Amino acid sequence: MNVADKKRLLREMLFARRFEERCYEAYVERKIGGFLHLYPGQEACAFGVMEAARPGRDYVITGYRDHVHAIRCGADPKAIMAELYGKETGSSRGRGGSMHIFDVEHHFMGGYALVGGPFPLAAGMAKAIKMKGDDDIAICFLGDAANNQGTFHESLNMAALWELPVLYVCENNLYGIGTRIDRSTAVVEQYKRVSAYGIPSDQIDGQDIEVVFKAAQKAVKHVRSGKGPYFLELLTYRYRGHSMSDSNAYRSKDEEKMWSKRDPIIMLRDRLIEAGEITKDDYKAMDTEILDQIEDDIIAYAESSPEPKVEELEKYVLAENDPWVRGGKN
């Protein structure tokens, strides 16, 4: 990873952080409704892994904490914000909302509310890639608690058996809503669990983007070369509550303080400042530019976009041209 890459990644991660913080504000202002799960603290996971992959071409899937993954795949942040606002210009025409971001053009295959739902979908995507003979891969990002779902074990078994090109990335932020991992999970170290299926795995620091990138390079190479699935466990932390309805009362101040010192953006920023590649003023100017862009470009777009028409509320919710939906006729 050269200096130009690091500077770009710093900008991309800071953009993601500010985007999510602005979502928080818009929710408090009641501009965004429904569920909203934010990503601050975990940025190095999505950006580090995707840096080693082919964003927009490899197929990516994740859970409900999904805005940043979609943006990294190439989805337009304006369409994502408009989706959160429930507007017609949103990525799913405002019908999906935060947990159902989808952008097939950029191979971002969702955004799922069901914990563990994406594991088999990722295996299916990888099966399709393999049948087509492409060298794309499927990447499935999910949380630590999701690994306790049956779908995890069923999917990893089949993925290993069929040597499917799928990279499973566990963003282990130590909590499933308010339940700490050691209260719900017999084997806390997630990377060990996949040895039951003969899948190679690593546990790494998910806060240091350079570390994530390096590990992801190795994992992506393995998967793309046809050797079957790989599993990465990234140790990370979310800086906000699980969702907007979470008062975040179950974590100690000491723990939060410890992780705030391991902020992926600040760590990369300080490294670049120390190396004399950027100054504090450069960083501040970049931040201001990003904040302006989010306000003038993205928020303004979402605010000024039209609402879906009431009579069209159910339109686009089901695939209208799908023969199964119309009654099974082909």
Ligand X SMILES: Cc1ncc(C[n+]2csc(CCOP(=O)(O)OP(=O)(O)O)c2C)c(N)n1
Give the residues lining the site for Mg ion (CB under 5 A): 143-144, 173
- Indicate the residue among 42 and 89 with the shorter CB distance to ligand X: 42
Q: Which of 21, 24, 31, 113 binds ligand X (CB under 6 A)?
A: 113
Say whether residue 177 binds ligand X (CB under 6 A): yes
Total residues in contact with ligand X, by rule CB under 6 A: 15
Say whether residue 144 binds ligand X (CB under 6 A): yes
* Cβ(108)–Cβ(68) below 8 Å: no
Q: Which of 175, 231, 237, 239 binds ligand X (CB under 6 A)?
A: 175
Shortest distance in whole angstroms from residue 70 CB to ligand X: 15
- Which among 70-78, 80-88, 142-150, 283-291 is the span making contact with ligand X, rule CB under 6 A? 142-150
- Indicate the residue among 171 and 210 with the shorter CB distance to Mg ion: 171
Cβ partners under 8 Å of residue 196, min gap 6: 153
Give the three-state DSSP class for 234: strand
Say whether residue 114 binds ligand X (CB under 6 A): yes
Nearest residue to 94 via CA among 330, 306, 322? 306
Site for ligand X in 26-65 (CB under 6 A): 65
- What 255-264 contacts at long range (C-beta under 8 Å, 24+ apart), as own/partner pairs, is 259/41, 259/207, 262/207, 262/237, 263/41, 263/207, 263/239, 264/13, 264/41, 264/42, 264/43, 264/44, 264/206, 264/207, 264/208, 264/209
Residue 128 interacts with which of ligand X, Mg ion, none, CB < 5 to 8 Å by class = none
Residue 242 interacts with which of ligand X, Mg ion, none, CB < 5 to 8 Å by class = ligand X
Residue 1 interacts with which of ligand X, Mg ion, none, CB < 5 to 8 Å by class = none
The 240-259 site mask, x for binding ligand X (CB under 6 A), equals --x-----------------
Q: Provide the terminal-to-terminal Cα distance of the chain, rounded to the nearest Å.
A: 50
Alpha carbon 83 to its chain centroid, in Å, reads 16
- Indicate the residue among 143 and 229 with the shorter CB distance to ligand X: 143
Rg (C-alpha) for the chain, rounded Å, is 20
State the burial class of residue 213 (Cβ atoms within 10 Å of its Cβ: 0-12, 13-18, 19+): buried
The 188-227 site mask, x for binding ligand X (CB under 6 A), equals ----------------------------------------
Shortest distance in whole angstroms from residue 237 CB to ligand X: 10
Rounded Cα–Cα distance for residues 10 and 211 (Å): 15
- Indicate the residue among 104 and 187 with the shorter CB distance to Mg ion: 187
Give the amino acid at 46.
A
**What is the contact surface with ligand X in residues (CB under 6 A)?**
65, 113-116, 142-146, 173, 175-177, 242
